[in-house]
Amino acid sequence: MPSDSPQEEYAREKTKYRLARAWQAVWGLPQTAVGLAMYAAHKGWRQHGRFRSAIVTEWNKDAGLSLGMFIFVPRGVKRSLVVHEYGHTIQSLMLGPFYLPVIVLPSLLWAGLPAFERFRQNKDYSYYRLYPERWANLMARRVTKERPMGWYR
């Protein structure tokens, strides 16, 4: 069986990404709606791009955030953080409306509460060891074949 031409491969990938975005818009509606609102708020004054099925926006925060098909990362960030955030995009595809309570809430608390920050510093405990981050890295690595930020296997 002959291999596909580059044009056929590109068309197949594009179709996969369109289907993923449609699935995000329906199954992942809550986080996609919030992500779209944030994207619209940043549209006129930030750098935007794509990574696979996601829309990536650079912002003035020092952390990444993934809401449905929308990824927000600091300016000039390493690709490995985008790959990690794409792992969260995959989680959103899988969990749909359960993504916010199962992934986003624990992740935001783990990242933002001073008690957890002290714990990570005092115990030399990686941010990426908590289940939402570790799982995002596993999904990102499996799908993209790239090394996400915080990858330690």
Cβ neighbours of residue 84 closer than 8 Å, sequence gap 6 or more? 64, 128, 133, 136, 137, 140, 148, 149, 150
Task: Supply 69's token pair.
Answer: 């098909």
pLDDT per position as a tens digit, 105-142: 999 999 999 999 999 999 999 999 999 999 999 999 99
Q: Is 119 domain-assigned?
A: yes
Task: With beta carbons less than 8 A apart as the criterion, state whether 50 and 56 touch.
Answer: yes
Any domain includes 77 = yes
For position 45, what pLDDT does the model report?
64
Confidence label for 4 from pLDDT (cuts 50, 70 and 90): confident
Q: Which domain holds residue 123?
A: 6-144
* 152 located within any domain: no
Half-sphere exposure of 6 (CA within 13 A, CB side): 0
How many structural domains comprise the chain?
Answer: 1
Rounded distance, CA 110 to CA 144, Å?
25
